[in-house]
Structure 1
Amino acid sequence: MAYSVIKENDLFLVTDLFGDISTDSTEGFGLYTKDTRFLSHLKLTVNGAKPIFLASESDRNYVSNIVLTNPDIKVGEKLWRESVEIKRTRFIYKGILYETIRATNFNPHLQRFSIKLEIDADFKDMFIIRGFQDGQFGRKTGVRQLASGFSIDYGGVDDVKRSLLVEWMEAPGHVTVSNEGAVIAYYMDLEAGQSASIELFFVPVINETYPQRHSHADAIQELQRMYADWEQRSTGVASNHPVFDSLYRRGLSDIRALLTDLGFGLFPVAGLPWYAVPFGRDSLITALQLLPVHPEIAKGTIMTMARYQGEKSDNWRDEQPGKIMHELRDGELANTNQVPFTPYYGTVDAMPLFLILIGEYVKWTDDIQLFEEMMPNIRRALEWIDTCGDLDESSFVTYNKESAKGITNQGWKDSSNSVVHRNGEYAQAPIALAEVQGYVYQAKTTIAELLRTMKPYSNDNKMIAWSSNLIAEAEELSKLFEKEFWVESDRFYALALDCGREQVETVTSNPGHVLMSGMLNPDRAAAVADKLLSKEMFSGYGIRTMAEGEKGYNPISYHNGSVWPHDNSLCLMGLNHEGFHKEALTVMEGLLAASSSFENHRLPELFCGYSANKDTPIHYPVACSPQAWAAATPFVFIEVMLGMQLDYMTRQISLHPVLPVGMDWLSVRRLRLGSGVLDVDVKRRNETCAYHILANTTGWTVVSH
């Protein structure tokens, strides 16, 4: 990864590997909150020269450690090469970026040198930085020198006052402020082996609301405690497979860094650096992946999505009553309605995914109170599915962009070229995507199951009738789906139906998501599993988004031939649900092999779809990392390796354990279900795997299948 990134709640920092920020960089380096860059330029020099990079530690998401040294400086105050070690340590705590610069003299003599920092803020909106949007924006109103720092101020066209406050513990030797920001200089005289530290605070201020500052020592100690508590409350997983163990730990750390709370509970934002905001689809899928590890994150996600559920018809934002948001932005352009993201509702799958997450969360936790609280939201989401979602009255959920600045394709493959016919022509809206119909089926049957099972609903005739209606609607959808989406010549399902209800026959991963819905008959489910693992679809490192050989196939495209870990994880859920354990193992083994080639065993948002006969998977050039649903992919592995399925009506946990090549034992501890936990060990015995239950306080019965 060619950058360093740290995040805590809704403040995050992206720098180059030196720890610097350059305004003219294309990577969008900076310190961000509320979709605004509060720190746009940060440059450290030693005696006026750029230091030499030695190391950057990024294994912990809450703290960045960068080690530098000086070049050979012969002009002015001479400095022998590599005489001074400079360590930059930074972390974020409660809305403040803390930085410590520690200099150590390794010259055997007294050494005099200066450390200078150039600092500026441009307060640019994220949409402008990404090059997606131009527009009207405010201006910098000045730079003020203060008793223990300085402030760079900005007045926005949205009437929001924004400032970057920079403070220090020890005053610099010299400070210069101008319209271009500030330059601070520290002059150091260090004896051999002596060290000195500079402690700085970078504070984004909005409408003169100042977060409380803590000492560096207290802040980092509290951060460490918070991360230790997160890990302790997580499902404990260990094995003799070091790559998996590392991938699992990395996923836990990445998800913790991506958590944000808008006042309704913790939920995962989509990813860094571009998508550190609430995303309907991404946040919902990540919370679904997290259920075996941290089920409470689903509650925060559900509550946040419910808070922003659509209430009216607004074409500018693609909003309709009952819709779940796609993306929420809070920058200057959004606040002045120059972009429709306040929030924007251009998504077709967030509504059924919202319902699926509610249902699965209640199954895992028995949180009947949340189900009751969400009943109005459930009804509105279902009403949208049956009315506004059926644009062409085809009985399928479809999408069509109305907003002038909205998203053309509104499924998870939302690039403009992702729904393409075999002749190379792009499908025209309204479009019905295969996976969305599976989500709708799963949403209706899941809600129906809860209505039939949970008290007091199971004794309410109206609720029983509603449940029966939902099941009948789901079965009608299943029959219609088989009739209109099945492509006999491919023994597979079409990617979509276009505006003329013509099949988009291109072979893609989308139908793989339908497996987890339970909508397919056994023969058709087997055909889907076979196709997903075919040489055209499976690269060796994962399932491709589009089959090799299709006219639209491109292994270096965003959605038409690349490999997305989260896409694979949803296919894995389906393979496990349908009992295709061998195929699921193959997919897991491919992803594990891929992860060993990425820094810190972190699966990125996506990687190129080239076959595994290459030495290593090829990086996609602008993939987000960390990305929430990629980070949560190894959590799905737990369910798959246990072969775990839940039957809520009978309160049975069904297990059929399988382990990937290279793993002989798996230990799972504190897996929360209901009000209790499950502890289970799995061991390989020749060609089979056996499980042993060490503790079960869940109230559920464990059975083999």
Structure 2
Amino acid sequence: MEPIASNTLSTTYVLKDSDCFIVADAAGDIEGGSDGFFHNDTRLLSYFRLRLGDSQPALLSAAVSRDNVMFVAHLTNRPLPPLGGPPAAQGMIHLQRERFLHRDRLYERIACCNYGQEIVRLPLRLSFAADFRDMFEVRGTVRATRGELLAVESTPNTVLFRYQGLDEALRSSVLSFSREFSGLEEDTGEFVLDLHPGVHEELYLECGTTPAEPPSPKRFRDAAVQARATMRSRQRRTGQIRSGGPLFDAWMDKSRADLALLTSELETGPYPYAGIPWFSTPFGRDAVITALQTLWLDPAIARGVLAFLAHHQAQEESAFLDAAPGKIMHETRKGEMAATRELPFGRYYGGVDTTPLFVTLAGAYAERTGDLAFVERLWPALRAATEWIERVCDANRDGFLDYARGSSTGLANQGWKDSEDSVFHADGRFPRGPIALVEVQGYAFAAFRAMALLSKRRNDVDAAMHWQERSERMREAVEARFWMSEAGYYGIAVDGDGALCRVRASNPGHLLFAGLPDAERAALVAANLLTPAFHTGWGLRTLASDQVRYNPMSYHNGSVWPHDTALCAAGMARYGDRAAASRLMRGMFEAAVHFDLRLPELFCGFSRVQTATPVAYPVACLPQAWAAGSAFMLLQACLGLEIDGWRGEIRVERPMLPPGIDHVTIRRVVVDSRRVDVVFQRQGDRVSTHLEGRDAAVVPLRFVG
């Protein structure tokens, strides 16, 4: 047996709960870099390593449980020198590390068993450090100065780290153990265990921001039960998907579990944090798109996202925060650098698309649920958001929703492709601002349409007519200014000089999702996206391969983002092309299989003819909320399933099943207060649909087209 040492593995294992998460290697060790145990954007453990004396245990296996609650690593010893007794040969000692997070605390059990014939004295050594680095420091930001790391304090079974930040906050990290140290140096504690043959010995530890009762088997078990119950309750909200394909079901289950992992229960309701490690915090755009992806299965997420974003809506002008009255938040952070305003991201509003997406989600939520009472509570926030959109559009020569950052510390590009090189002219030149992105105009169009429909529900005819007229003006302006007739496609942006950036990117696929183009132009956009210049066989590139800044290994200029592909697929399906949606879903599913059924934030844009497997992007977030949610948006695009909350009915329009799948059942779909199972079954060259469950007889099922 030649186990691979854990430090040769690049795979990391992630757990999250509320505002804390941990990233560690397969052995459970934290070795620095971007790994660590984080709470509120601050690293509480920057180093945490298990050794048997001076020897690194050999890794047997590592995994996270299917519900994303428990990390388990199985390890064994390499040959151990004698320590007051006979040496232990390799493979005689089994170590099992079990770890989970609950209520912002790390819980761990290290269980040891001697399978030899002699008593073994086992020196467990745990090395640890807490650097209290802000997440932006971990990401690479260099600070001119930092706060003060205070002296480490210890008791016979605890180690206390403290840091006095520049924001005058005292941050603490407390490691507690169920046994007293046999020996303790500044950064290493040792526990010497006498292991009798066949006998199990255990060490329990906890880490958090405050001291607690000493770790014990009961505390570990009780907290584990509560952590699993919390995760189960999150997953119960979402309809479960079952098909004739075990691997397909496993992908759906993994995506569902990842969304549950990333969703935090805030005072305003459930909110999906964007991704781990870099974006484990509330983001506006990411959460709204995740809510749109899952709305048909779990409207509670959309409600929680809308409530949180309305509560944090901007009330004042701030160039530093890119804020203006009515604008919806882009990002919020709780770390030291946000508190000292070294960066503007404490509560930052530098996203041009979040505000129209917020309004669009509110309209979609109302259509899905018929919950007009909640819309009434949101109405002041919706009015303020739409008035901000109108103010910006009115100041633009073409009536477009544009952006220009208010401060040099903010984001230069403020659409979803927010890297500095993501918007450019056909010759590679960067445009002068303000910049109007093509997909953002689609979001604004959808927001005006949503406000018109909601106003009709509120019996405000004048407001409905006003916003309907605004939406049509936006449609006409986009068609006149963005369309490139020679390419049969839309340009990516109009710059501050009124010049069109004649670049073919994936952005116009979002126009289809918004429903802005006419059928003829929508078909041309879809045809472009399905050519080899965009379609890799795994998914859609963010930039066509024949464009000047194309790089399949870049962040936004030729990589594949699952959420982007899903939005384009949903747009194609909106115009009736379910075959295209099915084709894109197949590619995403096959990519997911190569990524252990967990789609990353993005991956490289190499085509399938170049590589036998999709190529990972090295620092992509994994898991990522809108990547996980993509599976459900793609499936809905194939099935043509919509839920009309106003009528309390399910609509199905020309459904298709994913390739290789003969039946799909969506369990526990909520329609008003009723639950049904929606069953799709392949029958020859068509797909039939019917309802099952106790409420099947009272929920209308209507076929369209």
Settle same-fold status: TM greater than 0.5.
Answer: yes
Q: Does 1:52 align with 2:50?
A: no
Q: CA deviation at 1:366?
A: 2.0
Question: How many residue pairs were aligned?
Answer: 688
Distance 1:649 1:519 in 2: 24
Shift of 1:162: 0.9
Describe the shift of the 1:647–1:483 C-alpha distance in structure 2 as closer, same or farther (beyond 3 A). Answer: farther
Kept after mapping to 1: 8 A contact 2:350/2:414: yes
Q: How far has the Cα of 1:615 moved from its partner?
A: 1.0
Residue number in structure 2 paired with 1:91: 100
Inter-CA distance 104–433: structure 2 relative to 1 (3 Å threshold) = same
| 2:669 partner letter | L
Are 1:137 and 1:332, in contact at CA under 8 Å, matched by a contact in 2? no
CA contact (8 A) 1:434 1:496 kept: yes
3-state secondary structure, aligned to 1:388: helix
- Tell me the amino acid that sits aligned with residue 620 of structure 2: A
Q: What is the match of residue 125 of structure 2?
A: 116
Aligned residue identity for 2:522? A
The structure 1 residue matched to 2:72, chosen from 48, 51, 65, is 65
CA displacement 1:399-444 (0-9 Å, x = unmatched): 1112121111100001111112221112221111111111111111
Cα distance in 1, alignment partners of residues 110 and 644 from structure 2? 55
Look up the match of 2:192. 187
Q: TM-score, normalised by structure 2?
A: 0.94
Instruction: Tell me the residue number matched to 1:624.
Output: 621
Secondary structure (helix, strand or coil) at the match of 2:209 reads strand
Instruction: Output the amino acid matched with 1:395.
Output: G
Counterpart of 2:201?
Answer: 196
Alpha carbons 1:311, 1:321 under 8 Å: kept: yes
Deviation, structure 1 residue 396: 0.3
The equivalent position to 1:164 in structure 2, one of 170, 173, 177, is 173
Indicate if the aligned counterparts of 2:393 and 2:402 stay in contact, CA closer than 8 A.
Answer: yes
Percent of residue pairs bearing the same amino acid type: 34
- Which of 347, 350, 356 aligns to 1:346? It is 350
Per the alignment, in what secondary structure is the counterpart of residue 603 of structure 2? coil
Aligned in 2, Cα 1:122/1:347: closer, same or farther, shift over 3 Å?
Answer: same
Q: Deviations over 1:15-70 (max 9, x none)?
A: 122211123x3xx1111011100111111110221111221112442211011111
TM-score (norm: length of structure 1): 0.94
Q: Residues 650 and 88 (structure 1 numbering): CA distance in 2 closer, same or farther, change over 3 Å? A: closer
Q: Decide which of 639, 642, 660 is 1:642's aligned counterpart.
A: 639
User: Is residue 608 of structure 1 aligned with residue 604 of structure 2?
Assistant: yes
State the partner residue of 1:215.
219
CA RMSD in angstroms, aligned pairs only: 2.0
Separation of aligned partners in 1, 2:142 and 2:704: 55
Matches of 2:103 and 2:646, distance apart in 1: 44
Aligned match for 2:362, one of 348, 358, 361: 358
The residue number in structure 1 matching 2:314 is 310
Q: 5 Å matches for 1:89-488?
A: 89-146=98-155, 148-176=157-185, 178=186, 182-205=187-210, 215-388=219-392, 391-452=395-456, 454=457, 457-458=458-459, 463-488=460-485
1:256-303 Cα distance to aligned partner (Å, 9 max, x none): 111124422120111001100111111111111111222101111111
Q: Tell me if the contact between 2:392 and 2:400 (Cα under 8 Å) persists in the aligned partners.
A: no
**Within 5 Å, which residues of 2 pair with 1:505-520?**
505-520=502-517
The one-letter code sitting in structure 1 at the alignment partner of 2:409 is: K
Which consecutive residues of structure 1, in runs of 5 or more, have no partner in the other structure?
Answer: none
Separation of aligned partners in 2, 1:398 and 1:647: 33
AA at the equivalent of 1:112: R
1:381 to partner: Cα distance: 0.5
Residue equivalent to 2:666: 668
- CA shift in 2, pair 1:647/1:194, >3 Å: closer
Cα 1:211/1:49, change in 2 over 3 Å:
closer
CA contact (8 A) 2:157 2:181 kept: no
CA contact (8 A) 1:322 1:384 kept: yes
Alignment gaps of 5+ in structure 2: 1-9
Letter paired with 1:163: S
Q: Does the CA contact (< 8 Å) of 1:36 and 1:126 recur in 2?
A: yes
Q: How far did residue 246 of structure 1 move?
A: 1.2
Contact 1:248 1:634 in 2 (8 A): yes
Report which stretch shifted further, 403-412 or 676-685.
676-685
1:128 Cα deviation from its structure 2 partner: 1.1
Code of the aligned partner of 1:33:
H
1: CA distance, partners of 2:173 / 2:215 = 15
Distance 1:591 1:698, change over 3 A: farther
Contact 1:676-1:697 at 8 Å conserved across structures: no
SS of 1:353's partner is helix
C-alpha displacement of 1:111 = 1.3
Asked whether the 8 Å contact 1:365–1:675 carries over to 2, the reply is no
Conserved in 1, the CA contact under 8 Å of 2:645 and 2:672?
Answer: no
The answer to whether the Cα contact below 8 Å between 2:648 and 2:672 also exists between their aligned partners in 1 is no
CA contact (8 A) 1:41 1:119 kept: yes
Pairing partner for 1:578 from 575, 579, 582: 575
Q: Say whether 1:703 aligns with 2:700.
A: no
How many Å apart are 1:699 and its aligned residue?
Answer: 5.3
Deviation at 1:646, TM superposition (A): 4.9
Task: Note closer, same or farther for the CA distance 1:668–1:105 as it changes in structure 2 (3 Å cut).
Answer: same
CA contact (8 A) 1:677 1:698 kept: no
Aligned-partner SS, 1:406:
coil
Question: How far apart are residue 137 of structure 1 and its match?
Answer: 2.5
Match of 1:529 in 2: 526
> Is the CA contact 1:15–1:21 (under 8 Å) kept in the aligned structure 2?
yes
Corresponding residue for 1:689?
A: 687
Query: Hey, what's the Cα distance between the residues in 2 that align with 1:627 and 1:125?
Result: 20
How far did residue 234 of structure 1 move? 2.0
Aligned counterpart, 1:545: 542
Q: 1:470 to 1:700 in 2, by over 3 A?
A: farther
| Matching residue of 2:4 | none
Letter in 1 for 2:71: S
